[in-house]
Amino acid sequence: QKEVEQDPGPLSVPEGAIVSLNCTYSNSAFQYFMWYRQYSRKGPELLMYTYSSGNKEDGRFTAQVDKSSKYISLFIRDSQPSDSATYLCAMSLNAGNMLTFGGGTRLMVKP
Amino acid sequence: DSGVTQTPKHLITATGQRVTLRCSPRSGDLSVYWYQQSLDQGLQFLIQYYNGEERAKGNILERFSAQQFPDLHSELNLSSLELGDSALYFCASSVGGQETQYFGPGTRLLVL
């Protein structure tokens, strides 16, 4: 079993929908949680990061961390076709440490 | 554009050969991380350098090695290449002691 699990999708939604992306993890020592967006054949782009449990909002994106359940989420409001990409969750034990990634969820937003 | 640069963008080589991948971190970043992304394994951490010193090692093969130079650029050396080494290799950088890692565009390696 992988340390970080993520549904590979693809997840197909209509433009304007609210998208919910999720990851579960097994190592309760993870403290830092990130979401990256990766377009095909490009490098991962940092979208959100949170420390410990709680919510963080940035524009159309909201990241949630529930450490008690070992579950993190990314919500995308008013989804756009340009949001079509693979979304990777990542986490680390401490600041500056290596990142452990989920396998990624492929999202398709249809006009 | 993350500010992290990687060369070359694409590399095609044969089994048994040796290649060098180069990474220049963002200005001011002291930490460099190397990751491998393959279809079956996803993104996996290989090795981290901080200000010229090796800081952490992941599941990096003995055939692979890396170093970080005084100007903070880093090189990943892959030797005795096998078909299974075909993957995307990413470099990321961070200020050092910070949680945010910024990724470069990657080098796509194809071993034939």
**Per-residue pLDDT, A12:** 97
Contact B96 A36 (CB under 8 A): no
Res B96 pLDDT > 80: no
Query: Residue A107 — pLDDT band, cuts 50, 70, 90?
Result: very high
**Per-residue pLDDT, B97:** 62
Chain B closest-CA separation from residue A43 CA (Å): 4
Q: Distance between CA atoms of A44 and A28, rounded to whole angstroms?
A: 25
Q: Distance between CA atoms of A33 and B45, rounded to whole angstroms?
A: 16
Cα separations in angstroms, B2 against A76, A89, A93, B85, B92: 22, 18, 23, 26, 9
Report the range out of A52-61, B3-12, B95-104 with the highest average pLDDT: B3-12
Give me the phi and psi of A81, to 5 degrees please: -55, -30
Work out the percent of chain B whose per-residue pLDDT is above 70: 98
Contact B97 A103 (CB under 8 A): no
Mean per-residue pLDDT, B82-98:
91
**Per-residue pLDDT, B83:** 96
Contact B45 A100 (CB under 8 A): yes
Q: A46-82: per-residue pLDDT in tens?
A: 999 998 888 999 999 999 999 999 999 999 999 999 9
Number of helices and strands (H, E) in chain B? 0, 11
> Which chain A residues touch B100 with a CB distance below 8 Å?
34, 46, 49
